[in-house]
Structure 1
Amino acid sequence: MKKNALLFGALLFVFPMLGQVAKLQVGDPLGLTEIQTRQGTPYSLDDVKDKVIVMNFWMIGCKGCLLEQPYLNELAGKYRDREDIVFWSVTPNQWKDMSDYLRKHPITWEIKDGVDFSGISGDKTFEIKCMPTTLVIDKQRNIRYFKCDLLMSDEEGGNDFMALLDSALAE
């Protein structure tokens, strides 16, 4: 009887989550002009108008996030001289809490800290519940890529992601 009650309770918890559909879908317009920190400081998307935006959502303690960081550093380096693409490392962590982490695991591209991307207490646009998640927004502000998974190095099949970026940049 206890087992059945536990199973029933677990099913009540799991089934609603299975029915959830991500709010953001590839091909949809982003419909957002800024992201905000938990303190209300805005990061404006108008500042990067007519640019492809690569947003990587991560946090300290996420093992997958740590694994993909070297590849993202390499990828951002490949596009560093281009004026039409920006890479944003988006984290709920605060700068004051990241200094030790960043000393050991440097991020070589722009960090947007203190962002509640899970929608717990802030903006509900992203509602990201899985990390690492990467989002690519094209120059017309449409979502070109939205996935919770590790980005892979070129040797591991990451060429597809680079091809997607190159295609978005060519438009």
Structure 2
Amino acid sequence: MRRILIFLLVIATMLESCKEKERQIISKDKSDPAIKNNGSIKSEMPSDLIKSELIGKIAPDFKLKTVSGIEFQLSSVKDKFIVLDFWGSWCVPCIEDFPKMKEYYNKYRNEIEIVGIAYLDLKRNWKLSVKKHELEWVNVIHDKAKEQDLTITYGVDSFPTKFILNKKGEIIGKYGSTDDFYKKIDELMNQE
């Protein structure tokens, strides 16, 4: 029953994301306060308003399978900032964000490890998407059979959702698909 409720919640989130994209395409009225200067609807709250009880705490550890079938454990990443990117091959905003993610990965690959976590995805679609978009970072799939639902553990309520972890493994930020995420990455890398 719990899995059905989670599935329905994810479907509702996906539909809302699609509606938001449709509003972005339809709306051109920049006088609307919900519209950014570039004419797109502001679909997320500013990152400083997205709160999580996990901010400042060690990120919950997990083990998931990579595209090549190897088990990846979060705690195995040492001495790097970590980005956890919750996404799905079915998520249009997730896919649209890949070019910028790739740019940042290439720019900071020695300081940052990105871990893409595909959720509610078919293994075939997930693998094809990783290959098609040439995602070089660690990519794992959240198997529905897992007892630990990472979207609940991490408080993921929309896709994409990104978490930044410091080198100690503490969560320092939770972001949607906003420029605030990239600004924070630049800020952290400039402090190094």
Given the alignment of the two structures, is residue 46 of structure 1 paired with residue 75 of structure 2, yes or no?
A: yes
1:107 and 2:135 correspond? yes
1:29-75 deviations in whole A, cap 9, x for unaligned? 125232446xxx85323311232111111001111101111100111
Any idea what SS the aligned residue of 1:54 has? Answer: strand
CA offsets 1:69-92 (integer angstroms, 9 cap, x no match): 110011101122x1x421111112
Deviation at 1:151, TM superposition (A): 4.2
**Structure 1 length normalisation: TM-score?**
0.63
Moved more, 126-135 or 93-102: 93-102
Q: 1:159 to 1:51 in 2, by over 3 A?
A: closer
Q: Matched residue of 1:56: which SS?
A: strand
Q: TM-score under structure 2 normalisation?
A: 0.57
Aligned to 2:38: none
Match of 2:94 in 1: 65
For residue 69 of structure 1, give the secondary structure of its aligned residue in structure 2. Answer: helix
Whether the 8 Å CA contact 1:89–1:109 is kept in 2: the answer is yes
Report the residue type matching 2:126 in the other structure.
M
Q: Which residues of structure 1 form unaligned runs of 5+? A: 1-20
Instruction: Give matches, 1:16-165, under 5 Å.
Output: 23-26=52-55, 28-36=56-64, 43-80=72-109, 82=110, 84-92=111-119, 93-115=121-143, 122-123=149-150, 124-147=152-175, 149-152=176-179, 160-165=183-188
Q: Supply the distance in 2 between the matched residues of 1:110 and 1:58 (Cα, whole angstroms).
A: 13
Alignment check: 8 A CA contact 1:34 1:42 kept: no
Percent identity for Structure 1 against Structure 2: 19
Distance 2:137 2:106 in 1: 8
Residue 36 and residue 109 in structure 1: after superposition, are their counterparts in 2 closer, same or farther (change >3 A)? closer
Larger radius of gyration: 1
CA distance in 1, matches of 2:130, 2:64: 22
| Whole-angstrom distance in 2 between the partners of 1:102 and 1:164 | 28
Q: Which residue type is aligned with residue 58 of structure 2?
A: L
Alpha-carbon separation, structure 2, partners of 1:122 and 1:42:
17
Contact 1:56 1:89 in 2 (8 A): yes
Q: What's the secondary structure of 1:164's corresponding residue?
A: helix
Going from structure 1 to structure 2, the CA distance change for 1:136 and 1:115 (only over 3 Å counts) comes to: farther
Amino acid at match of 1:144: I
Aligned residues: 136
Deviation at 1:106, TM superposition (A): 2.6
Over 3 Å counting, the alpha-carbon distance change for 1:61 and 1:54 in structure 2 is same
Match of residue 4 from structure 2: none
Query: Helix, strand or coil for the counterpart of 1:146?
Result: strand
